[in-house]
A and B are shown apart, each in its own frame.
Chain A
Amino acid sequence: MAAAGIKLHPSCRVRQEGFGLLFYDCKGPRLLFAATGTLLPADFFGTVRARDEFPDGTSESQKPALQKFVTQLLEKGFLREQ
């Protein structure tokens, strides 16, 4: 069965910074600094993605960390399941 789709929460924004991604939730407001470097493009979650979907070029060794990061973003409410 296909994994549920995930997307950036409508109250959240994200942009690229030197250290990685900066997430902003206007309901709070809250910030999340993610030292992802250039692993994850800022616009990646602008469209619905599968839970196990990764940006092109992601290596097998990077995938577990990215998957954990996505889970954290869901738990913190920056991403939501569609």
Chain B
Amino acid sequence: MSNKYVEMGMRSPVNLTWEVTLACNLRCNHCLSSSGEKACNELSTAEALDLVEQLHTAGVFQVNFGGGEPFIRPDFEEILAACHVRGIMTCISTNGTLLTPELVARLASNPLVAIQVSLDGARRETCDAVRGDGVFDAAVEAVKLLAATKIPASINTVLTTHNASEIPAMHELARSLGVSLRVSRFRPSGRGADNWESLRPTPTQLIAFSDWLAKSGDVRTGDSFFSLTTQERQGLGLNLCGAAKLTCCVSPTGHMYPCAFLQSDRFEAGDLRTSSFQEIWDTSEIYESFRNLRIHSCEECTRFDQCHGGCPAVAWHLKNDINGGDPECLERCVTSIADNRLELAA
């Protein structure tokens, strides 16, 4: 990652997360956006299509669609088509329960689409405890449908304390189904905040995961785990938070935020109903503050070059301070375990 160029400022995000709806047919315990009912005043089809045109003009390479469950939106395929006709790559995060052979066949007709299906355990019981009864089987069926096409497909797993020991088995499951594995970081936003203490991985689990990840080069993590990145994975992804620098988030109602995990009034960068996408990207004070964010308290750390202070969203949700450094970075996990051992010994 060339920080020098990132710090010069990008004319637009490389990619962005667009939560096209808050509506979801599931109620996962860790949902970052507390999805369920459709939000009041979600972007209309015309507004969504206008946004796609703005993203194209801005030069955005890829849109990562999430929600809610994107396929609940009746016009979602129309929005996808608008992206594809403009050459914008798309990646869809779905719970998989609404994927039918007919829908998958339509999606497979375009080479610019990739799909991630959420699955939160290698065992049915582990996954369904978080996502609801019957979801494991439905998601596996969806993955099988996708694996039979040319669509780049992956299983996306949020690492929690309950599935931490199953991640190698998830890797094997993904391999046996013919797709890749992506592991995402559990962050304390949305319902994830309500269930933080019961779902968060322990420091020991995070360190074990970091070690396993170092040996599993084909497992992707998005930008989730740069706070845990070991030397072996350097060069495989970001070594700093890309929020407002390389990426950003658009909510179902057209509000823009630095990332999907900071969708609150405090971090609102702008409203697409009153400003253009480019105006918000160029002039938002919130985005400017993220671009200038320096985690000085972490600068003496030996791992600073690998994570630059980690995830500001986790720092905000746990410490109410985006300047405070990631409380769950690898260094702090090690320190936390050492402190506990000292306390036990005393």
Contacts and interface: CB of A to CB of B under 8 A. Distances in A.
Contacts of B14: 22, 24, 31
A29 B222 CA distance: 8
Contact of A22 (B1, B10, B111, B114): B10
B1 A31 contact: yes
Interface residues of B, number: 19
Nearest to A12: B61
B87 interface: yes
Contacts of A27: 152
B332 interface: no
Contacts of A18: 8-9, 11
Nearest to B62: A26
B2 interface: yes
Interface in B113-147: 114
* Residue among B8, B59, B87 with max Cβ neighbours from chain A (10 Å): B59
Contacts of A35: 5
B15 A19 contact: no
A26 B61 contact: yes
Nearest to B111: A10
Contacts of B152: 27
Given A22-B5, A24-B14, A24-B15, 18 more contacts: A10-B111, A13-B89, A15-B11, A15-B59, A17-B5, A17-B10, A17-B11, A18-B8, A18-B9, A18-B11, A19-B8, A22-B14, A24-B61, A27-B152, A31-B1, A31-B14, A33-B2, A35-B5
10 contacts: A17-B10, A18-B8, A18-B11, A19-B8, A24-B62, A26-B61, A26-B62, A27-B152, A31-B1, A33-B2
Interface of A: 10, 13, 15-19, 22, 24, 26-27, 29, 31, 33, 35
